């Protein structure tokens, strides 16, 4: 693969990785500790990721349990969860915090699938924008003594990459939608 194309391959890979992280934070009826990834807890005045202030476990399929390393953090963790968009009210017994995930309704599942498709489409648009930028950069190479045939070959390679990542995103959309719709 040409070095000039590798740059765009890496950018497309990053776009797909970002989409994976977005999908990990969508809850699908089962308890998934990744829904807490974006939550920051006020730890002595510093916003700290939740996973760094306590032990996050999944004792049951629809429950996440957070055992803070310092008991004084329970209120701060609860406050951070309530302020986030997780949509679950935490309960604590003085030692651990529990998040119980309710069963998703059919309507909520359909809304989540729409959200998954929307995010997937945004991912595809990002990949296509990277292709467009690549094609624009390749067109400028004619001024640098690169033959039109070479440029055409590189544009074809860029299109193949775009198709490859587009298919990957389609597969991710399909997989996440299936996961959400599975009761």
> For 143-155, what is each residue's pLDDT tens digit?
777 788 888 898 9
CA distance 77 to 82: 9
Each residue's pLDDT tens digit, 8-36: 999 999 999 999 888 877 766 677 788 78
Residues constituting the chain: 183
Is residue 124 within 8 Å of residue 164, measured between CB atoms? no
Task: Give me the residue spans of the domains in the chain.
Answer: 3-25+105-181, 33-100
The overall average pLDDT reported for the chain is: 87
The CATH number that domain 33-100 falls under is 3.30.1360.40
Each residue's pLDDT tens digit, 83-115: 887 778 888 888 899 988 878 788 888 888 999
CA distance 37 to 24: 9
CA distance 33 to 109: 19
Dig out the tokens for 55 from the structure: 């032990």
> pLDDT over 70 for what percent of the chain?
98
- Give the CATH fold of the 3-25+105-181 domain: Topoisomerase I; Chain A, domain 4 (1.10.132)
Task: Give the mean pLDDT of 47-56.
Answer: 88
Q: Collapsing DSSP states into helix, strand and coil, what is residue 54?
A: strand
According to the model, what pLDDT value does residue 27 have?
66
| Count of H-run helices and E-run strands, the chain | 4, 6
pLDDT band at 158 (very low <50, low <70, confident <90, very high): very high
Is residue 43 within 8 Å of residue 76, measured between CB atoms? yes
């Amino acid at each position: 693969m040409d070095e000039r194309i590798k740059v765009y391959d890496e950018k497309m890979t990053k776009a797909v990785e970002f989409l994976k992280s977005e999908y990990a934070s969508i809850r699908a009826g089962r308890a998934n500790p990744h829904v807490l990834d974006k939550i920051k807890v006020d730890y002595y005045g510093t916003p700290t990721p939740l996973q760094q202030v306590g032990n996050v476990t999944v004792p049951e399929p629809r429950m996440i349990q957070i055992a803070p390393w310092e008991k004084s953090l329970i209120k701060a963790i609860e406050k951070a969860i309530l302020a986030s968009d997780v949509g679950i009210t935490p309960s604590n017994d003085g030692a651990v915090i529990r998040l119980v995930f309710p069963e998703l309704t059919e309507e909520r599942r359909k809304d989540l699938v729409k959200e998954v498709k929307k995010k997937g489409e945004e991912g595809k648009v990002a990949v296509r924008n990277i292709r467009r930028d690549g094609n624009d950069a390749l067109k400028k190479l004619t001024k640098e003594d690169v033959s039109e045939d070479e440029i055409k070959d590189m544009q074809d390679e860029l299109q193949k990459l775009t198709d490859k990542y587009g298919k990957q995103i389609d597969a991710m959309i399909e997989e996440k939608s299936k996961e959400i719709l599975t009761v």
